[in-house]
Structure 1
Amino acid sequence: MAARGGGADRCAAAEPAESGRTGVKQITMITRADDAGSSLSANAAIERVLRAGFIKNVSVMAPGRFLDNASERLRQNKRVCFGMHATLNAEWDHVKWGPLSNPAPNAGLTDESGWFFGDPDVFLRTKPDVSTILREYDAQLDALTRARFDIRYVDSHMFPERCVPGLDEAVRDWAVKKGLLDHMYFYRLPPDWERVAKDPGVLLKVLRELPQGQYFYLAHPALYSEEMLQTGNAAVSGEQIARERAGEAKLLSNPLLRLGMRLLSIVSIRYDRAVPNERLTVDDVLRLFA
């Protein structure tokens, strides 16, 4: 398993050696699909996307209602690195999930109905203990193991670390204890990443112009369905979520994408084949995605 970080310069650590072919730059990209287990539509889309070969990492939500379905569809794909999408929030108004560790009602993790809160900002008021959160993360990792996923890394759903003092450092140490790679060592976004996720023409253009190095790509593929239309909240409609995620699924299933990457000598890679950089803070990562 790769080392977790170190004091090396971030950009230098992110740049692999030149290809053996003269004049050919070496570009690698950690490609990740999130939210497996959250819906049947996400599970089916991720299964389809994996067949296309671009996505090499899948983050699984243990509290999701369709974890077993995700396991049946995905876990046997040995080309994929699976991770725990550590989850403390359920952002949609009508689609909910809750904790696996049976926390006390006053522990600050759940609403009056026992579901996760919609936004991490609520934790600024409820102030859950870091120890309570780590017990929940233990339960989530145990659930993924029971579902027979080979979990290699941990990442964060909605970054509650920004609202719980000490949680980021605690998760860093928890990952080491559990033998998991920590996602915070691996973020380096390509330019125009938001447009890249929606337009294959933009993606190939950006890939063509990338300097040598190691990059990160994130997607949330799902099929357009009645199930996805039930997502959404006051900030974004279920229709928009369903349409955008179906667009990502279509893009990432396109065989021309893999062909274009091959022609450009760009290789998508797993976390456990990637080079760790300097560990970022939560604020660093949120600025990257802003």
Structure 2
Amino acid sequence: MNLYSQTLAEKLGFTRNDKILIINNDDAGMCHAANKATVEGMENGLISSATIMTSCPWYNEIASYAAANPCKGFGVHLTLTSEWKNYRWGTVAPRNEVPGLYDGQGYMWKEVMEVYASSGPEEALIEGRAQLKKALDSGIPVTHIDSHMGTYQYSPDYMKVYIQLAKEFNLPLRMPSQTTLNNLGAPDYREICRREGILHPDYFIHEEFEGYSTENVAGFWTNYIKNLKPGVTEIYVHASAEGEEIRTITNSAAKRIKELEFFTSNELKELIEKEGIIVISYRPLLELQRKK
């Protein structure tokens, strides 16, 4: 079979009819509760991948675990925002190199549009490089990149930086589904990645999150997983461990706690088995990209 006619699944060694799922826990490193949930989800549940916020106070804890467990799948959650009211962080790059990424309180901006208004792609590139180098210098075998709050993805200029970082560090990346790109009227970033030799999953959850709430975590994910398409799909959650810490940081704590419960549940394990779904991390994509 011609290499270019093969699906991503086939290039990874599966069949074109296989349903392959990456379950990524975003925000590892953000706080202890996120780290604890990431480890628990990987060791006792079906979380197969996580992305680390290298600029956050609890980075060292999860970095040590990731370096000591190279078989696990850890990427970098490229971060340009610091959204919580009383729990904030700054950049990895020196402040004088990225002054536009700082608000009046001395932290990263809370909102994506504030970043776009006050900074620029040049600073995003400097900070992205600094975050990736920090992870690599910590001994983390980085598998991929994605973007906290989508800051690197909602602007064409920032998306160019995002793809540049993936190419520069030879890493796969999270990419919106073609349907999402069409709905946003975005350029054909998937074709750009193809030309640059950068891999990404076939499908990524986005529009489907409408109606997702604390009350329907299990039902929402059960329905979504039952309706996976053949190919490689990435879903993401923000699973966190129960405790005063996460409940103090964010009003979305209850949902995050329920996500950990569901993604470590026997209910999910039985569903995955029944549906014949293959759960992987980004590592096979990384190995395929670097092999190519």
Q: Is residue 28 from structure 1 mapped to residue 20 from structure 2 by the alignment?
A: yes
Match of 2:253 among 233, 242, 246: 242
How do 1:85-96 residues align onto structure 2 when only pairs under 5 Å count?
Answer: 85-96=77-88
Q: Which runs of 5+ in 1 are unaligned?
A: 1-7, 233-237, 276-290
> Contact 1:152–1:181 at 8 Å: present in 2 too?
yes
> Contact 1:225–1:242 at 8 Å: present in 2 too?
no
Q: CA deviation at 1:16?
A: 4.8
Query: Structure 1 106/193 Cα, relative in aligned 2: closer, same or farther at 3 Å?
Result: closer
Aligned residue pairs, count:
257
Identity %: 20
> Contact 2:172–2:285 at 8 Å: present in 1 too?
no
Match of 1:169 among 160, 175, 193: 160
Q: Deviations over 1:188-225 (max 9, x none)?
A: 24695564995334433443343433222111110122
Q: Deviations over 1:111-152 (max 9, x none)?
A: 1232001001113431x2322221111211122123221112
Cα separation, 1, equivalents of 2:92 and 2:208: 37
Match of 2:233 among 202, 215, 219: 215
Q: Secondary structure at the match of 1:28?
A: strand
Cα separation, 1, equivalents of 2:230 and 2:55: 38
Q: CA deviation at 1:171?
A: 1.9
Q: Is residue 137 from structure 1 mapped to residue 155 from structure 2 by the alignment?
A: no
TM (normalized to structure 1)? 0.77
Match of 2:94 among 95, 102, 106: 102
Query: Structure 1 160/109 Cα, relative in aligned 2: closer, same or farther at 3 Å?
Result: same
Q: CA deviation at 1:182?
A: 2.1
Q: Is residue 268 from structure 1 mapped to residue 260 from structure 2 by the alignment?
A: no
Q: Secondary structure at the match of 2:74?
A: strand
Aligned residue number for residue 259 of structure 1: 270
Cα separation, 1, equivalents of 2:122 and 2:220: 44
Q: Secondary structure at the match of 1:186?
A: coil
Letter matched to residue 52 of structure 1: N
Q: CA deviation at 1:99?
A: 0.5
Cα separation, 1, equivalents of 2:165 and 2:97: 24
Aligned residue number for residue 56 of structure 2: 64
Q: Which runs of 5+ in 2 are unaligned?
A: 176-199, 287-292
Q: CA deviation at 1:95?
A: 0.8
Letter matched to residue 121 of structure 2: V
RMSD between aligned alpha carbons? 3.2
Aligned residue number for residue 138 of structure 2: 147
Cα separation, 2, equivalents of 1:72 and 1:36: 12
Query: Structure 1 75/177 Cα, relative in aligned 2: closer, same or farther at 3 Å?
Result: same
Query: Structure 1 155/188 Cα, relative in aligned 2: closer, same or farther at 3 Å?
Result: same
Aligned residue number for residue 115 of structure 1: 107
Match of 1:203 among 221, 235, 243: 221
Query: Structure 1 132/251 Cα, relative in aligned 2: closer, same or farther at 3 Å?
Result: same
Letter matched to residue 265 of structure 1: G
Cα separation, 2, equivalents of 1:121 and 1:265: 41
Q: Deviations over 1:98-120 (max 9, x none)?
A: 11111339831101232001001
Aligned residue number for residue 203 of structure 2: 188
Q: CA deviation at 1:78?
A: 3.9
Name which structure has the greater RCO, CA cutoff 8 Å, separation 6+.
Answer: 1
Q: Which moved more, 1:113-122 or 1:165-174?
A: 165-174
Query: Structure 1 16/204 Cα, relative in aligned 2: closer, same or farther at 3 Å?
Result: farther
More helix, by proportion: 2
Query: Structure 1 114/165 Cα, relative in aligned 2: closer, same or farther at 3 Å?
Result: farther
Q: Which moved more, 1:183-192 or 1:244-253?
A: 183-192
> Contact 1:196–1:203 at 8 Å: present in 2 too?
no
Query: Structure 1 164/105 Cα, relative in aligned 2: closer, same or farther at 3 Å?
Result: farther
